[in-house]
Homo-oligomer: A and B are copies of this chain.
Amino acid sequence: LKQVSSGKTSTLYRKGQIVFHEGSPPLACFCVYSGRVKLYRTDLDGKHQIVSIAGPSDLIGHHALWLQKPHAVTAQMLEDGYLCVIERSTLTQLLERDSGLALELLKRTTQELEDTQARLADRSHRSARSRLACALLRLWESRGADGKGRTPDHILVSRQDLADLIGTAQETAIRLLAELKEIKAVSARGSRITVIRPDLLRERSEPPY
């Protein structure tokens, strides 16, 4: 995939920009070169559920391509970044040529499926409290370099995105985050959340509570 990306020109996408919309027909898929992209579903009440957050070297928008159906999710940039556009025809050729690629994609997709199944199980059986702790840990552990190769000890997520990720109302996410600030596990100034005590988060991410 990296080879494909490098051969192609990548395009700049701005923070907040929509890459593709739920319900729109799939014309191409995208390989993330830099920046993060949130993929979310929208229900009839306009509520969002973040399905995954893609980062560098992740492929997005390909599901709809395989299934020959409209996109089931909307992809929106969480920060400025470059995406490499891969046309449907290009991808088809690649798959036919390199059989290893299909296996690699199968592996990735399977991993993503297991992750989603795990989240599904957690969603009903764990409290929002433990889900928040868990989500913060994941975001923290997968936080990328900030552009100049420095790895910061904070993450950048809005309260709403945090809520959409763990599946609660924004107010709940805020209240639970306040608890974490209370016990000095994290600190926050705006959407800049600093993880101070990952061990405390890990403790809270276990059920019950």
Contacts and interface: CB of A to CB of B under 8 A. Distances in A.
Contact of A125 (B43, B95, B206): B43
Question: What class of interface size applies to chain A in its complex with B?
Answer: 35 or more
B118 A41 contact: yes
Contact of A103 (B102, B110, B117, B167): B102
A123 to B, nearest CB: 5
A49 interface: yes
B110 A51 contact: no
Nearest to A119: B120
Contact of A41 (B63, B72, B95, B117): B117
Nearest to A101: B102
A124 interface: yes
Contacts of A109: 106, 109-110, 113
B124 A49 contact: yes
A95 B167 CA distance: 38
Contacts of A120: 49, 51, 116, 119-120, 123, 167
A185 to B, nearest CB: 21
Interface in A112-151: 112-114, 116-126
Contacts of A51: 117, 120-121
Contacts of A73: 117
B113 A208 contact: no
A99 B120 CA distance: 32
